[in-house]
Amino acid sequence: MIVVIADDITGAAELAGIAFSHGFTSEVQTEFNSKTDADVICLDTNTRLLTVEDAAAKLRALAKRIVAAKPDWIYKKTDSVLRGNIAAELHTLLGATARTRAIFIPANPSRQRVIREGCYFIGNTPLHETDFVNDPHHPATTSVVSEIIGNDPAILIPDARSESDLDQHARKSDSLVLPAGAADFFGANLRAQGHEPAPVITLPHS
């Protein structure tokens, strides 16, 4: 069993779809229940708009139940443009899962969302120069990823400009690493374990 922990329902559903496309059965949950036949549980914690303290407390309680279920591995899904209580939730999961570090890649190169020299870009535009600067809850006031989530040596934020970059870092996700980030890095972690996406079949027009 793989458990994906997302902070909103959209992220949970997105990764459930990716898991399905890689040959897994998947299930979206809003209350964690390990008694399922699904290969992948995508849990919506609904913590994005909570205070930092409330988000950490809620995730801490959930993490105990998730760890007790002994999943094969856990992926922390975050918003691809860095909204939410990312640092607090990563710290909480690192402590609960006894991982020593997180590899955090919120970039989605498939959507031209990349990290270059530590800065987040959408296309060629720095994050803080996009419309996300006007987000009512988590305005993007800088494009430096480490400044947004806090400079912490336990959270590694590598550059990610391409799918091959993601694959390279996914191969480093051993038992001491908590992989975290956006949808593309989740797919890379599945590929690193030998799970390729099913080919897209295009039916001819009648």
The DSSP H or E segment spanning 75 is strand 73-77
Q: Looking at residues 21-30, what average pLDDT do you find?
A: 96
pTM: 0.93
More confident residue, 203 or 106: 106
pLDDT in tens, 64-84: 999 999 999 999 999 999 999
User: At a CB cut-off of 8 Å and minimum separation 6, what does 177 contact?
Assistant: 99, 100, 101, 102, 103
d(CA 187, CA 3) in angstroms, rounded, equals 14
pLDDT > 90: what percent of the chain?
Answer: 91
pLDDT at site 133: 96
Residue 203, pLDDT above cutoff 70: no
pLDDT in tens, 34-67: 999 999 999 999 999 999 999 999 999 999 999 9
